[in-house]
Structure 1
């Protein structure tokens, strides 16, 4: 075995300029795959880390041994969320502090996140700081924050304070009723679980092309290696020696590429941290996978490449003479198509209530089956192209597709698989929401029995703050025993008259005429003036209550851009690297064709046809399969954004493949500059 390893290392170093270029192409492919694979893994770890840091604000009621009371509600400033956490100790002994705080807050004490403290210093006091009443206890550390820019205030209270006895908000996503707790372990919020599910599906859409690309990297310059190993078999090398040499060569190259990919990911981490999801950017620690995941990737990638290289050795081990004679391998079987049809038959059974893990597995299998079917379809396309060819270039392209459909598929597989991603995302992209400007209308949910008195107090507070507003009481709300107090900021109320009990729009209706487009500073002054009017409730607009829906739709848009960017990066790099590798593999064939008088332009046309014809068929088929897999998760047809996304992806895909072919044209000219065939 040691002799085989030494020989493999010597052959790798002594492969000449073009041999080193082939190894460099493999290393580049592995580096890109490793960097993006780390990103896909870290995305899930990052969402999990956010969920853990947020869990303490979603308390679990203590069955015994309660030490504190915790209440949470959401406020707003400049249309940004402020998380307000109220804590009260139940005994004379201070409980252990929540994450991010050095100690448990004393009554009347406030702890601010760095972003909230900075914003409070920037804005006038009557817009924000006056809501943050209390003596400063300290700053909330990163352990208690979801993202660096989060606005969070933790307030110390007494156990009998009104806010610690308030009832629950209408929407559990905007707050938690006072809860007796034994510790701050909590549980993941609905928001966090939703983002973890979306992150898992996005990772599947990114990881499958990366695995395919990583496996294909082992087969770059495969023809040259097969010729060399077949020659060794013919002169007496055993199958075990051939396998050992292949594994050593592939693993050494892949490990070097994996280290390069890890370095590339480390350099890109500060840029990746700026991607805003769920309202903010990322801590750098969220985007560093840790020692164990890094070691797992550094071991898994070379093993994947080595296994892929060994799988491709079957022709060499079984029939080295056939390789040396360049015999066309036997055609692939239709069972590949049967596997895809079997997976697609399961798709209609999926729905929005299916476990996210099951959905991810089915989508991943469909994705892999598209890659499995690809070479078979390329072979069929090659036979048809060769049969109907009317030009030398088309005939050469068709014969090449028939001769080695797997190599031809590797050139277009990245863009074709990106078509699957684009088809899936294009159909499931949520429709664009029309967001009405309702900042001028604020609502405060109040007990029905006190609504008139609270409306009068609201009017007095706004008048003292010199905020023009009309205050009315709605005719009932969404919960029993409560009525909405409606504040139309920017309008003057009836002179001296009480509006309690008058007819008013129901909560959530559009703002009255003349309130749209109200200055944000004036609205924040109104919010500050109304702070504490109803314990545990804040003045919020109808848009505030739907802010999570708007946020998740925006984040799906950001995720779409990220996933498609990763997919296209893989696709374009794959097309360029495999196109260059194909030229190196077939340089002797190209040289013989040039020696026979074939013009260089004919060879270039054949190369373009060899990629664009299967890309058109398989790209369209992959888009259709992706859209079919998305059908169980949509209730309406494709929206404008989804259609535009899909169209842009199709255009970029074809442009990328054409660009990759054009970029490798100088390499083709170089290998055919001296058409005299040379021994390998």
Structure 2
């Protein structure tokens, strides 16, 4: 075996300048696949980490002995949410909340770093006067990373006495408010929002990983013609099938491992940039973007294995018929069963929708992706027959014959953009419009008040606002107009105190919030716009996720088009040289190469977009909105431009390989 490995290494090194260029293209392809694969794996782990770090604020009621009481509600400043967590110890030695060094003493306040910085930067009457509180409390310390979802999250933990009004039994008013709960620990459970983001991350990963796996497998087939010729020659001089397979695996794994290491290094260098992607309310901790040693080792092992398996799968012709490879015989046409597989997967798509598990949805989407890649070469072969039969110019005839002769190679050049078309079609139909949520009033504050305390609270509100210098109109009404049914069925018709500052700017509203802070224990004054912020945040995050997914897909597509275009020229350099020797102008060869790319791209790109939209139909809320249409249009334009640009970039290589048209042994 060592002799075979040594021979494979010598053949890899002794391939000459163009042989090394072909190996370099494989390394580059694997590096791109590895780096982006690490990103998709890390993204899922990062969302899981966020869900785990935020779970402690969604307490689980103790079934046995309770050690503490926890209550949560939202406050706002500068139109940003502040998570307010009130805790009270029921016995000495209660465990500290995550991110805190110890359990907060009564009256003690712990701030997240971002909240402390914001409080120092804003006027005290807008934020800082809300804590350490009106009762003479103190700042206990800073909340660590383990207690925060993201670095810029605004969180305050306040220590309370178990018998304080804040910890008294009450109903939660806001959708995100949690009534005082007796807990045994701060384990908590993941919120519905966190689980939703994990599901979206999983679906986005499928949309990114499958093209990466296809691209990684295609990397093993780069410069395939040159390698097949060389291995066929070895078979003809007596090499056994096992020896050929061993040499192929060794060569593929060596180049793939080098590319995987390079891709991992590039990913780690890009980590600081990735932390700046703002989703779920803020950027990421650096630790979120590090997948961990085991994940890195798994990817570094999986990518070379995938490339090696793909290389072995392509050896069937060499092992079975080395003479046919050496004579450059056209392989048998592919069968229609490839299209049947695609149609079978698409027949399952209408059964998806509500009630179907996310794992099933992700699996069907992944299979649809793979089926498009499986059917692509067959469609390209059929297009080649049509183009060759209707050609009126030499370039069209050459392009058609090339697609017939090697449809897989023609498909590899456009497969990346076709996969991106699938992603764009799927996302374009699902991208929600901004009309799903109305913009609520942001100038009038509402405060839920116990009915028996309305008169007292109203008088105190007017007194506090006057003392703070906030000119505002204070009115009392039933449940706020348009607020709908009470969240979670609590407080069917609460009394609402409405405060309308004369100045409708954000600063005036914040000063009014500060003046009203603590007026009703455990409740904050909020606006109608505050109730809609989470919905608009989700819409914004979907838009950010769309950009990220499409950016990854386009990077794969453009890299795939450029690398495979250059590799195709190296594979066919002898054919190009013979055509040049026969008198074919270089511009005809270049035109044939463009037609060989653009014709399949137009048909398969459009088909992939249609298939993506079809797969999105069971989940579409309504007809595609303007944003989705623009997304599709941008994808089509960038896809064509990227492929054309990649083809143009490889034109100097075509000129180079045909500069000396005299044939030579390979």
Task: Sort the TM-score into its range (normalised by shorter chain).
Answer: over 0.9
Aligned counterpart, 2:502: 490
Q: Deviations over 1:200-256 (max 9, x none)?
A: 011000000000000000000000000000000011100000000000000000000
Q: How much has 1:457 moved relative to structure 2?
A: 2.1
Trace 1:25-104 onto structure 2 (pairs within 5 A). Answer: 25-91=25-91, 93-104=92-103
Q: How much has 1:454 moved relative to structure 2?
A: 1.9
Whether contact under 8 Å (2:440, 2:528) holds in the other structure is no
Q: How much has 1:546 moved relative to structure 2?
A: 1.6
Q: Deviations over 1:170-228 (max 9, x none)?
A: 444x2211000011111101111111011001100000000000000000000000000
Aligned counterpart, 1:144: 147
Aligned counterpart, 1:604: 590
Aligned counterpart, 1:197: 199
Please, which of 209, 212, 235 is the counterpart of residue 211 of structure 2? 209
SS at match of 1:153: strand
Q: How much has 1:481 moved relative to structure 2?
A: 4.5
Whether contact under 8 Å (2:73, 2:174) holds in the other structure is no
SS at match of 2:167: helix
- Give the direction of change, closer, same or farther, for the CA distance of 1:287–1:100 in structure 2 (3 Å limit): same
Aligned counterpart, 2:387: 385
261-270 or 326-335: which moved more?
Answer: 326-335
- TM-score by structure 2 length? 0.97
Whether contact under 8 Å (1:73, 1:175) holds in the other structure is yes
Q: Deviations over 1:488-517 (max 9, x none)?
A: 1227xxxxxxxxxxxxxxxxxxxxxxxxxx
Q: How much has 1:345 moved relative to structure 2?
A: 1.1
* Structure 1 position 529 matched with structure 2 position 482: no
Please, which of 157, 180, 186 is the counterpart of residue 184 of structure 1? 186
297-306 or 163-172: which moved more?
Answer: 163-172
Whether contact under 8 Å (1:108, 1:157) holds in the other structure is yes
SS at match of 1:445: strand
Aligned counterpart, 1:401: 403
Whether contact under 8 Å (1:469, 1:488) holds in the other structure is yes
Q: How much has 1:461 moved relative to structure 2?
A: 1.4
* Structure 1 position 472 matched with structure 2 position 484: no
Whether contact under 8 Å (1:448, 1:481) holds in the other structure is no
Aligned counterpart, 2:116: 117
- 2: CA distance, partners of 1:323 / 1:155: 76
* Structure 1 position 549 matched with structure 2 position 535: yes
Q: How much has 1:535 moved relative to structure 2?
A: 1.5
* Structure 1 position 574 matched with structure 2 position 579: no
Q: How much has 1:438 moved relative to structure 2?
A: 2.1
The size of the alignment, in residue pairs, is 652
Please, which of 428, 448, 452 is the counterpart of residue 445 of structure 1? 448
- 2: CA distance, partners of 1:165 / 1:368: 57
SS at match of 1:416: helix
- 2: CA distance, partners of 1:661 / 1:87: 63
Please, which of 373, 376, 379 is the counterpart of residue 378 of structure 2? 376
SS at match of 2:74: strand
Whether contact under 8 Å (2:376, 2:411) holds in the other structure is yes
Whether contact under 8 Å (2:440, 2:532) holds in the other structure is no
Please, which of 455, 463, 468 is the counterpart of residue 458 of structure 2? 455
* Structure 1 position 156 matched with structure 2 position 159: yes
SS at match of 1:546: helix
Aligned counterpart, 2:316: 314
Q: How much has 1:480 moved relative to structure 2?
A: 1.9
SS at match of 1:486: strand
Q: How much has 1:2 moved relative to structure 2?
A: 2.0
SS at match of 1:106: coil
Q: Deviations over 1:266-309 (max 9, x none)?
A: 00000000000111100010110101100100000000000000
* Structure 1 position 12 matched with structure 2 position 16: no
Aligned counterpart, 1:128: 127
- 2: CA distance, partners of 1:523 / 1:579: 60
- 2: CA distance, partners of 1:468 / 1:215: 68
Aligned counterpart, 1:106: 105
Q: How much has 1:166 moved relative to structure 2?
A: 4.6
Whether contact under 8 Å (1:447, 1:481) holds in the other structure is no
- TM-score by structure 1 length? 0.95
- 2: CA distance, partners of 1:60 / 1:183: 8
Trace 1:201-600 onto structure 2 (pairs within 5 A). Answer: 201-433=203-435, 436=439, 438-476=441-479, 478=486, 479-490=491-502, 518-600=504-586
Whether contact under 8 Å (1:166, 1:536) holds in the other structure is no
- 2: CA distance, partners of 1:341 / 1:442: 56
Whether contact under 8 Å (2:418, 2:608) holds in the other structure is yes
SS at match of 2:434: coil
- 2: CA distance, partners of 1:103 / 1:96: 7
453-462 or 324-333: which moved more?
Answer: 453-462
- 1: CA distance, partners of 2:493 / 2:163: 23
Q: How much has 1:487 moved relative to structure 2?
A: 1.4
Q: How much has 1:435 moved relative to structure 2?
A: 5.4
Q: Deviations over 1:348-395 (max 9, x none)?
A: 111133211111111111111111110010001001110111110000
- 2: CA distance, partners of 1:659 / 1:476: 60
SS at match of 1:59: coil
Q: How much has 1:553 moved relative to structure 2?
A: 0.5
Q: Deviations over 1:387-426 (max 9, x none)?
A: 1111100000000000000010000000000000000000
- 2: CA distance, partners of 1:187 / 1:69: 16
Aligned counterpart, 1:498: none
Aligned counterpart, 2:483: none
307-316 or 446-455: which moved more?
Answer: 446-455
SS at match of 2:439: coil
CA-atom RMSD in angstroms: 1.1
SS at match of 2:418: helix
- 1: CA distance, partners of 2:171 / 2:198: 26
* Structure 1 position 616 matched with structure 2 position 602: yes
- 2: CA distance, partners of 1:314 / 1:418: 30
344-353 or 119-128: which moved more?
Answer: 344-353
- 1: CA distance, partners of 2:315 / 2:533: 56
Q: How much has 1:459 moved relative to structure 2?
A: 1.9
Whether contact under 8 Å (2:98, 2:146) holds in the other structure is yes
Q: How much has 1:162 moved relative to structure 2?
A: 0.8
Whether contact under 8 Å (1:432, 1:641) holds in the other structure is no
Whether contact under 8 Å (1:408, 1:611) holds in the other structure is yes
- 2: CA distance, partners of 1:618 / 1:275: 32
